[in-house]
Structure 1
């Protein structure tokens, strides 16, 4: 019997600092998130970050928490329910960090008789800290607990026409009655070293402004290329003016160089240096609205833009449980089930 497991990032169980600390500990101790030697990762995460960051992060989560719970979890559950309505086989839901865990998700499917799973990491672009960590963990769990189960994973779908259509239409629908001067595509940042580590050619990625536009096998696992290509695809789909669209990267951590330009600086520069008065932002690295979109962009980003002299700030919602997006996943499932 076949089944499906949708996997998103995850969320703390509550906005209490102890729950946020537990979640951050699991997230940041992942060797594909902070890819440092165990002793150094442990020192940084458990010795420094978990002693300083949980209270601040808890306060941020409190700003965006819904009555039903974590927005990311609630939106993921809505997506699962809608996809299940259009699918003949079981559709499960799991989180890479927090609950429900991937092990629990696989267990639930296994107990329903599922022996062949379509694993759907809910990330359009490939990255070590997203798609790869999900696929690797799922395979480790399969070998240990479900040796007679087969797992097939959905690769990065940033270039899939159906996804680009769903994303583009959601952007167009939201902005149809909005007035804006510039559209900024903000993607979650990653350390530059992650780009080089993911380069299967070991020579192509130089992060020099040209390698992402030069055809290469490296692009199959290059997060930076896939982000810029997503922006390009939407520009072409919607016929946007290239001069009125740009790309940036948010949520950097630590002192090592991360992908640039940085979103927070870009937001300020758009107002202060370029004189942009009306800014719209879309966040296509996420399929579900979460802390990074609802607090970091919609709240903090808006504050920074207005403080810098901007006048209107629009945050385009993620595709969440958008009906067209649901249809895209349902199509993948039908193809898998045939």
Structure 2
């Protein structure tokens, strides 16, 4: 059996225009693992309400971060893919869950190189329905329909793997050099609270209170909230950051649902009045900078922080295509492909 790797990230519209953003949002928001309500209700919400106004607003946000090379997420992911590919001896393909760089194309690319055993690698440190699960489910459907000769080895959430934590901590430390920050905020992508309960394999552990994430349980294998807290805990321990100098929040919520709290925007806006004038924000739910990190944090949150009395704001870049991070991924591939 010939081995190969498929790296999978979120995806991007083809251009920062409402015309291209609309089908991308339709594919994304109509995913039953993203908006997990019955199809007819989901269609009513997405196609009857959200897509009537959201594409124009989202296109404006994408236009703020778009580069001459294209979508930052795609550009960065391609650079990371190329570096990893050069470090290993097996074929490596790159795909996106949504958009034109499909998982189907990625698997076909590997098949064309004779690959029959695939390391399926969702590029998400923490496990969530709306990110990891939807990739794994679609990939398995495509495998059964188009590539029955293939087998998959799934890369689980790597939120607490020592080499990932080390790379993340080193990256944060490097970017904070020379910045005398008052506070370091760990901002993770938000998800609805019901997603936490749905991924609870015990069906009883996750109460989303002050204790369940710190109480050992099999539920933690798929608990996004626990895994976020664990990433933060291990990074600050490695960096020696005192408890009073960091906190954790969740961003990118949609109206109408109960989402994980505290909310990033709410907390950032309150920080200046608490004496936090120099703020650094890191976004460890993402390995590549994208709309949520570049527009929502580096631009929007920055503007709001300064508006509310803050003085200096630093958005720490994601791991992107940093050599150490690419080396970590390459080592995982090498260990698997021996």
TM over 0.5: yes
1:278 aligns with 2:278: yes
Find the residue that maps to 1:117 and give its secondary structure: strand
RMSD: 0.6
What is the alpha-carbon distance in structure 2 between the residues aligned to residue 116 and residue 89 of structure 1?
11
Aligned partner of 1:92 in structure 2 is 93
* CA distance, structure 2, for counterparts of residue 293 and residue 176 of structure 1: 20
Determine the C-alpha separation between the residues in 1 that align with 2:161 and 2:258.
30
User: Superposed, which structure 2 residues align to 1:26-175 within 5 Å?
Assistant: 26-175=27-176
1:334 paired residue number = 334
Aligned-partner Cα distance in 1 for 2:36–2:22: 20
Question: 3-state SS of the aligned residue for 1:14?
Answer: coil
Report the Cα distance in structure 2 between the residues aligned to 1:60 and 1:179, rounded to whole angstroms. 30
- 1:306 positional shift: 0.6
- Report what 2:208 is aligned to: 207
The residue number in structure 2 matching 1:259 is 260
| CA distance in 1: counterparts of 2:4 and 2:165, whole angstroms | 25
Task: Report the alpha carbon displacement of residue 5 of structure 1 after superposing the two structures with TM.
Answer: 0.5
Distance in 2 (alpha carbons) for counterparts of 1:269 and 1:12:
34
> Hey, what does 1:222 align to over in structure 2?
223
- The 2-side partners of 1:168 and 1:136 are apart by 32
CA shift digits 1:128-169 (9 cap, x unpaired): 001111111111100010001001110000010000000000
CA distance in structure 2 between the partners assigned to 1:81 and 1:179 by the alignment: 35
Unmatched segments (≥5 aa) in structure 1: none
Q: In the alignment, does 2:238 pair up with 1:237? A: yes
Count of residues in correspondence between the two structures:
337
Alpha-carbon separation, structure 2, partners of 1:152 and 1:50: 36
Report the CA distance between 1:220 and its aligned residue. 0.4
Structure 1 segments, 4+ long, off by >2 Å, are none
TM-score, normalization by structure 1: 0.99
1:13 equivalenced with 2:22 (yes/no): no
Q: Residue 292 of structure 1 corresponds to which residue in structure 2?
A: 292
Shift of residue 270, structure 1, vs aligned partner: 1.0
Structure 2: state its 5+ residue gaps: none
Q: Deviations over 1:161-215 (max 9, x none)?
A: 0000000000000001112100000000000000000000000000111100111
- Structure 2 CA distance for aligned equivalents of residues 253 and 51 of structure 1: 16
Distance across 1 between alignment mates of 2:215 and 2:314: 33
3-state SS, counterpart of residue 304 of structure 1: helix
What residue number does 1:309 align with? 309
